[in-house]
Amino acid sequence: MLAHVPGALGEAEILRLREALAGASWEDGASSGGASKTMKRNSQLPPDSELSRKLGSAVASALLASPAFIAAAIPLRIFPPLFERYEAGDRFDPHVDNAVRGDAMTGARIRVDLCATLLLSEPDEYEGGHLFVEDIFGSREFKPHAGDVVLFSAGSLNMVTPVTRGERLASFVWLQSMIQSDEARDLVCDLDAAIQDLSPRIGGDDADMRRLSTVYHNLIRIWGEA
């Protein structure tokens, strides 16, 4: 699973998040790195702070309002989104994210199937800071626009290259999908995309469209959990 979702958050939402983060107090990002914390050099908003929870709730709501994000992730649970800042010299060396995450405030635990990086800075605001993700086709590089989301399997090797100028702001999100298998989720996502492409051309009342929609929902019924 590797997907680029453009414009998951709009300009107004990005501006509100950035204004709130402008006066925030940051801490060492290694505190949330788990087993990979020795490879992580950046800053993060304290995860249990009131501001982090408030902004995280806004990010989660926006993602859940994005049809493209829903189609790719088929989310069951979202860990409270966190916020990170990369300045000159900061980086995140190649790592794989933890398989399980627990929320210290609520005690809730999720199986981490997917990771999502939501950019809050535009590419021309910083140099370096490229996100690399390994998938079955090799290494993929991303430096998307503010508001875009890069969604990838939590089992993928990933890294953020050193920032050499400016500031890279982002929110990162861990998710448990209704469909655990990456392969099954990809098939359902492709089927959903085909349905969305065909529907305007042949109409939602077409008999074959109804058959495709039935297959889509029955695959989720077979593979999904709720």
Specify the number of domains making up the chain.
Answer: 2
Examine the domain organization and report whether 107 and 60 are in the same domain: yes
Could you tell me the CATH number of the domain that includes residue 11? 2.60.120.620
Q: Burial-class residue 187 by CB neighbours within 10 Å (0-12, 13-18, 19+).
A: middle
Same domain, yes or no: 11 and 121: yes
Q: pLDDT at residue 204 above 80?
A: no
pLDDT for res 1: 79
Beta bridge partner(s), residue 159 = 132
Verify that 123 and 145 share a domain, yes or no: yes
Residues at the binding site for 2-oxoglutarate are 168
Decide if 220 contacts 181 (C-beta within 8 A): no
pLDDT value at residue 36: 60
Predicted pLDDT of residue 200: 87
Q: Are 116 and 149 in contact (CB under 8 A)?
A: yes
Mean pLDDT, residues 187-211 taken together: 90
Cβ(70)–Cβ(10) under 8 Å?
no
The reply to whether 103 and 168 lie within a common domain is yes
DSSP assignment of 120-148 equals: -S-GGGEEE--EEEEETTEEEEE---TT-
- Per-residue exposure over 78-91, b if at least 16 CB sit within 10 Å of its own CB, e if not: bbbbbbbbbbeebb
The residue among 104 and 158 whose pLDDT is bigger is: 158
What's the domain range around 193? 182-223
Over residues 157-180, the mean pLDDT reads: 97
User: Is residue 116 located within the same domain as residue 101?
Assistant: yes
Q: What is the pTM of this model?
A: 0.90
pLDDT of 31 reads 72
* Model confidence pLDDT, tens digit, residues 117-136: 999 999 999 999 999 999 87
Which residues make beta-bridge pairs with 132?
Answer: 141, 159
111 in the same domain as 45: yes
Q: How many CA atoms lie within 13 A of 7 on its CB side?
A: 1
- 135 and 102 assigned to the same domain: yes
Q: Between the CA of residue 100 and those of 11, 77, 103, 162, 171, what are the distances in Å? A: 32, 12, 10, 27, 19
Does one domain contain both 62 and 149? yes
Give residue 122's pLDDT: 98
DSSP string, 51-74: HHHHHHHHHHHHHHT-HHHHHHH-
**Apex 180 CA angle, 174 and 185, nearest 5:** 95
* Helices vs strands, H then E, count in the chain: 5, 17
pLDDT digits (tens, 9 = 90+) for 32-78: 655 566 789 999 999 999 999 999 999 999 999 999 999 999 999 99
- Looking at the structure, do residues 158 and 172 belong to the same domain, yes or no? yes
* 26 & 63 share domain: yes
Query: Is the same domain home to 168 and 212?
Result: no
- Output the known binding site: 168
Q: Are residues 6 and 38 in the same domain?
A: yes
User: Has residue 10 got a pLDDT over 80?
Assistant: yes
In this prediction, residue 137 carries a pLDDT of 77
Binned at pLDDT 50, 70 and 90, residue 115 comes out as very high
